[in-house]
A and B are shown apart, each in its own frame.
Chain A
Amino acid sequence: MKISFPYMGTVVIYKKLLELLGHEVIVPPRPSQKTIDLGVKHSPEFACFPFKVIMGSYIEACEMGADTIVTSGGHGPCRAGFYGEIHKRVLKNLGYDTEVIIIDSFNRNRKKVMENIMKLKGNNSWLKLSKAVKFTYDMIQEIDKFDKKIREIKPYEVKPGSVDRAWEKIQKEFDNAYSKRELKKAVKRSNEIINSLEISRIDERDRIRIGIVGEIYVVMESSINMEIEKVLGELGCEVERGHYLSEWVDFNLVPSFLKKSHEEEIIKKGEKYIEIIIGGHAKQTVGGIVDFKDRGFDGIIHLMPFACLPELVTQSIIPKISKEHDIPILSLSIDEQTGKANNLTRIEAFIDLIRNKKLNKYSA
């Protein structure tokens, strides 16, 4: 079985899990203009942007010889839960003989979920499966710690680009780890890499910290969000995202009696503005803004795909949150038409505004 998956964020993780189960893994290329063009061509015009990018990714993976694609399902009301069903039909129409395995929520269709898990499990024992899952779980936690660390020190790098290169190296370290011992070694090596970086420290007052919230795909996948974290880093801002794979796993896959996830608290903070779960990450977005403010962040960037259903509800409410919590928020919607220059200008202006606001606060 030549298996592939949607490209989002740190793909090392999905690759690792499938490899540990003995599958041949085809990692789709990082989304490029070609991916987007392919996706746009074969998607419904008004489908959301992540749908189109993933569509393009799938086609590229199929061209590379993938015969199976694994992805997650969902139960709505956000469209993302139905992606797989439409992707499957489009691929079939294009003549690809690819099986799309959609892992749905366990409560919805127990039999089908088990069937799909059995397919992925193959001839491996349950023990091996659970070990593989545990190993990847530990790995996500570690990688995300470094991911956060990198964004924290990026604005203060002495040699331009050195932190980005360090991050590449760290990802490679993890990519080469296949056992518990190797994972430990990777963590140690990564720490060394970070420690060897030349960093200039600045006054606490001059730190600018930006939180990125919004729809998970455009927040996590740097290739389609103009590498916003890097851009902000170069503008001298520390960045933290509202979504990390490890947190997604904790919230969606780990039963709550085992571990209380941070996301639950965040959702509580958003209750005032959006009463019930309306799909996607609308509630997390609203709660995330309040949470970032509580933790002393200076500004928020809200990312959403063009015409994203849940995030449009959030976007309507954002002016009020911004006012009530006194925090600047910039809302950007992203799609295949996004002109990079236009958005960069807006981001730069936004950061200038935050810097001035801060300056006034201390000089007053």
Chain B
Amino acid sequence: MKIGVPKALLNFYYGPFWETFFEELGMEVVLSEDTNKEIIDAGVRESVPEICVPIKIFIGHVLNLLEKDVDYVFIPRMVSINEGEIFCPKFMGLPDMIRHGLEGLEDKVLTCHIKSESDDISDYSNYLSIGNTLGISKEKIKKAAKVAGEHWKKFRNYNKNGYTALESYNLVYGKGKLKGRNNRKKGIKIGLLGYVYNVYDSFVNMDILNKLKELNVEFITFDMIDEDELRNNIDDMDKVLFWTFSNKLLGAGYKFFRDMEVDGVIHITAFGCGPDSFLGKLLEIESDETQIPFMTLRIDEHTGENHLQTRIEAFVDMLKRKKLKAI
């Protein structure tokens, strides 16, 4: 049986888990193509106009998988991966939105509720409903979830050792090369904030990671930092945000600003992202207080590449000059 897995949204974080899980169950895993113009266009056509770009892209990926004749499309319902916190409403209603909003998907959506107390979502009870749909025994689900969980941990370990999620993904499949550690450059370092699906989807963000590399800028993203450390940085707040990944970004942001270990912070956000409108304000206030430069890059389905390039270059130049002056 062919299971389609959209390469969008949290697949940049949990992909290695889900792929391994279905492979262990003996399914053929079909991935959607990397985001491209056709995918975005198809997504835009089929979604309500006001919704955020990442969801439009996700819908594009689902349609892309339909063309590949899959039997099911895997669309998890992300509910919670930390006690007392939940996901953005669009994640929690994602299967509903796809099932009732798109033609021809009524019986093709393979879904499950994911609830967990930590980032580790390998508890097999999350996936029992998949077993019911596909007619697979509990034992098999249990075993597959365990194997997948270990695979995912390997991926996360690479990630936390300073590799981007994309590099880690290749490494865990034995494709990439380990880089020589500690080749510290004298250049500048940037804290790059943004959800995995904005930072690592090189089509929608105009390949910002490579642009930074070309400019000789070192960067650090939230997924390279240990979960507990992210949490420690927001522990003193009266009330934290409701959305786990927004809290991770906030934790990373506060760390960047307060530890003074970066020269500047860039926040990549998608047009229409609700949680980011508040997150951005909190970061702005922090930037004012610590005097570390902060820039918001807003991406959408029709971002012009030149404008992005110019803004990044200007920001980096400014940081370089600031650093030179300080010495």
Q: Total interface residues on B, using CB and 8 Å? A: 38
Question: Residue B285 contacts which of A89, A276, A282 (CB distance < 8 angstroms)?
Answer: A89
Assess A44 versus B86: contact at CB under 8 Å? Given A81-B242, A307-B272. no
A199 contacts the other chain (CB 8 A) = no
B238 contacts the other chain (CB 8 A) = yes
Which of A186-194, A222-230, A312-320, A337-345 lies at the binding interface?
Answer: A312-320
Number of A-B contacts defined by CB within 8 Å: 116
Proximity bits, B275-293, A CB within 8 Å = 1, else 0: 1111011100100000000
Give complex CA distance A137, B323 in Å: 62
Question: Residue B96 contacts which of A45, A275, A307 (CB distance < 8 angstroms)?
Answer: A275
Interfacial chain B residues near A327, Cβ < 8 Å:
none
* B51, A104: Cβ atoms closer than 8 Å: no
* B285, A312: Cβ atoms closer than 8 Å: no
Question: Residue B101 contacts which of A76, A79, A280, A316 (CB distance < 8 angstroms)?
Answer: A316
B66 contacts the other chain (CB 8 A) = no
* A282, B93: Cβ atoms closer than 8 Å: yes
B35 contacts the other chain (CB 8 A) = no
A73 contacts the other chain (CB 8 A) = yes
Interfacial chain B residues near A77, Cβ < 8 Å:
86-89, 92, 242-243
Interfacial chain B residues near A104, Cβ < 8 Å:
239
* A93, B285: Cβ atoms closer than 8 Å: yes
A85 contacts the other chain (CB 8 A) = yes
With both chains docked as a complex, state the minimum distance between the C-beta of A67 and any C-beta of chain B, in angstroms: 20
A197 contacts the other chain (CB 8 A) = no
Q: Which residues of chain A in 268-314 are interfacial with respect to chain B, using CB atoms and an 8 Å cutoff?
A: 273-276, 278-280, 282, 306-310, 312-313
B273 contacts the other chain (CB 8 A) = yes
Interfacial chain A residues near B258, Cβ < 8 Å:
none
A47 contacts the other chain (CB 8 A) = yes
* A89, B281: Cβ atoms closer than 8 Å: yes
* A313, B242: Cβ atoms closer than 8 Å: no
B135 contacts the other chain (CB 8 A) = no
A232 contacts the other chain (CB 8 A) = no
* A79, B278: Cβ atoms closer than 8 Å: yes
Proximity bits, B69-101, A CB within 8 Å = 1, else 0: 000000001010000111111101101110011
Interfacial chain B residues near A82, Cβ < 8 Å:
239, 241-242, 278
7 residue pairs of the A-B complex, CB under 8 angstroms, read A44-B280, A46-B276, A108-B84, A109-B239, A282-B93, A317-B96, A320-B101
Q: When A and B form their complex, which 10 residue pairs have the shortest distance between CB atoms, in order from nearest?
A: A76-B242, A313-B93, A46-B277, A316-B101, A278-B92, A310-B89, A309-B89, A278-B89, A317-B100, A309-B274
* B residues whose Cβ falls under 8 Å from a Cβ of A: 47-48, 50-52, 77, 79, 84-90, 92-93, 95-97, 100-101, 113, 238-239, 241-243, 272-278, 280-282, 285
